Amino acid sequence: MTFTSDFASTRLSNALNYGNQPGDAVISTKAVFQSLSVDDQLAVLWYAYTEMGRSITPAATGAARLQIAAGLLNQIKQMSHAEQLNVMRDLAAKRNTQISRSYGILSNNTKLAFWYELSELMVKGFIVPMPAGYQLSRDGIQVLEAIKQLDFGQQITVLRQVVAEMGIDPFDD
Ligand code: 45D
C-alpha cells in the first residue's frame, strides 16, 4: 500500500523540515545526520548510495578526481576487513590518523567521489560488506527518509557537506 509509506514519509519530512526555506531541508537533514552514531552514519551513507546509485554515473564523478584519491583507495583495498571498517569509522569520527589527514586535503567533490568509489569497491567485494540484517536506529531511518525526499541537487549538497566534514584537515590548527 503506498498510502502508508507516503503518509509516513510526509510526517518524517515535516518533522525534519523546519520552516519553508528551500535550504532548511538540507540544513536540518545534515544536522540530524551528524547527530547519528558513527556506525549509523556509515550505514546511512551506504543506503543513500544504494538508492542513488542509478542516478550517479561513474563518468560524472570524474576519473581525474579519483586519480588523486587512488593511492588512498588502493591503500584501503589492501587492508583486512576489520582495518577497512576502522578506517571508515575513523573518518566519520574525525579521528586523527594518517588516512584521515590524507583524506582531509581532498576537495569536497573528491571526498564525495572517494566515498562513491568505496561503495563501488564494496559491491565488487574488495571492501568489508554491510553486516546482514544491520539495524539502523530510528534517527537513522528518519535521516534516510529525509534524504529520499530531497531533489537530486539537494541530496548531493547534503552528502557533500557531510563527507566534507569527515577526516582531519592537516592545515587546520
Ligand atoms: O560491522 O565530482 C557498520 C556528481 C556496522 C558529479 C558496518 C558527484 C558495523 C561531480 C558500520 C554499518 C555531483 C555526480 C560494519 C561528484 C559493521 C562529482 C559497515 C557526486 C561492517 C563526486 C559499514 C557523487 C560500511 C555522489 C562498510 C552523489 C559502510 C556520490 C560503507 C555519493 C559505506 C556517494 C560507504 C555515496 C558509503 C557514497 C562506503 C553516497 C558510501 C556512500
Tell me the per-residue pLDDT of 82-101, one tens digit each, with 9 for 90 and over.
Answer: 999 999 999 999 999 999 99
pTM across the whole model: 0.86
pLDDT band for position 11 (50/70/90)? Answer: very low
Mean pLDDT on 56-65: 70
Percent of the chain past pLDDT 90, that is, above it, reads 71
Q: Specify if 169 maps to a domain.
A: no
Q: For ligand 1, say whether the CB of 115 is within 6 Å of any of its atoms.
A: yes
Report how far ligand 1's centroid is from the alpha carbon of 160 (Å).
11
List Cβ neighbours of 76 (8 Å cut-off, separation of 6 or more): 84, 87, 99, 118, 127
Report how far ligand 1's centroid is from the alpha carbon of 3 (Å).
30
List Cβ neighbours of 92 (8 Å cut-off, separation of 6 or more): 38, 41, 42, 166
Domain that holds residue 160: 5-164
Q: How high is the pLDDT of residue 173?
A: 66
> Which atom of ligand 1 is nearest to 89's Cα?
11
Backbone angles phi, psi at 89, to 5 degrees: -65, -40
- Between the two ends of the chain, the Cα-to-Cα distance in Å is 53
Mean pLDDT on 52-77: 80
Q: Specify if 173 maps to a domain.
A: no
162 pLDDT exceeds 80?
Answer: yes
Residue 130: DSSP 8-state: P
Report how far ligand 1's centroid is from the alpha carbon of 139 (Å).
18
Distance, CA of 110 to CA of 26 (rounded, Å): 20
Q: For ligand 1, say whether the CB of 48 is within 6 Å of any of its atoms.
A: yes
Report how far ligand 1's centroid is from the alpha carbon of 65 (Å).
16
List Cβ neighbours of 142 (8 Å cut-off, separation of 6 or more): 12, 15, 16, 32
Amino acid at 169: D
3 pLDDT exceeds 90?
Answer: no
Tell me the per-residue pLDDT of 114-133, one tens digit each, with 9 for 90 and over.
Answer: 999 999 999 999 999 999 99
Where residue 61 sits, what CATH number does that domain have?
1.10.2090.10
Report how far ligand 1's centroid is from the alpha carbon of 156 (Å).
12
Q: Specify if 38 maps to a domain.
A: yes
Q: Specify if 51 maps to a domain.
A: yes
Q: Specify if 171 maps to a domain.
A: no
User: Which residue's entry shows cell 581525474?
Assistant: 64
Q: Specify if 33 maps to a domain.
A: yes
Mean pLDDT on 128-141: 95
Ramachandran class of 87: left when φ > 0, alpha when ψ lies in -120 to 50, beta otherwise: alpha
Percent of the chain past pLDDT 70, that is, above it, reads 83
The 10 Å Cβ neighbour count of residue 43 is 20
Q: Specify if 89 maps to a domain.
A: yes
Counting the structural domains of the chain, the total is 1
Which of the two residues, 1 and 145, has the higher pLDDT score?
145
CB 140 within 8 A of CB 43: yes
Tell me the per-residue pLDDT of 15-39, one tens digit each, with 9 for 90 and over.
Answer: 454 445 667 889 999 999 999 999 9
Residue 20: DSSP 8-state: S
Q: Specify if 170 maps to a domain.
A: no
Q: For ligand 1, say whether the CB of 132 is within 6 Å of any of its atoms.
A: no
